[in-house]
Every structure is written in structure tokens, then in C-alpha cells.
Amino acid sequence: MKKIFLETMKTQQGRTGFYSMVIFTLALYPISLFFAGTYIGKVGMLACSMASFFGAQTFFQASLVVRSFLEKEEENNQH
């Protein structure tokens, strides 16, 4: 699992997905704290939540590609 994470972080898609997931998740707290109950707060929280979700989805897709590549590489090494 750690190897898949590290190999995924070496890809551009993996880094982009992971960093956007982390940054937008961390941005939720100040937005909810300073703009609570306002229109800006509601829209900002929705936008950050969606961006974090899409970042996680991007990272997950990259990890699936990396995992299948590692499995094929391992299979080729066994033969």
C-alpha cells in the first residue's frame, strides 16, 4: 500500500489530486469559521468540498493505474 502511494505521488495526476484534496480540505475550516452562515460561506464550503472530492477521485484513478502497472511488472518479473 505504501509503495502504491509513493509511486502514485511520482505521477503528475497523483500529485495534483493529492495536493488539491489536502489544500481544499484544509481550506474548509477557515471558510466555515469566518464566513459561517453567510452566502460566501455556503458557496465556499460547497466549492471546497467539491474540489476536495474531485482531488480524491483524481488521486484514486491515478493509484488504480499505478497499481495495475505494478501488478503487471511483478507478474513479468516472476516469469
Tell me: the pLDDT tens digits for 14-26? 999 999 999 999 9
3-class secondary structure, 35: coil
Q: Which of 7, 2, 1, 8 is nearest to 56 (CA)?
A: 8
Q: Determine the Cα–Cα distance for residues 77 and 48; give it in Å rounded to an integer.
A: 43
At residue 2 the predicted structure's pLDDT band, cuts being 50, 70 and 90, is confident
Cell numbers for 7, please give them.
Answer: 509511486
Predicted TM-score of the model (pTM):
0.80
Q: Determine the Cα–Cα distance for residues 27 and 41; give it in Å rounded to an integer.
A: 11
Res 40 pLDDT > 80? yes
Q: Which of 45, 57, 48 is nearest to 24 (CA)?
A: 48
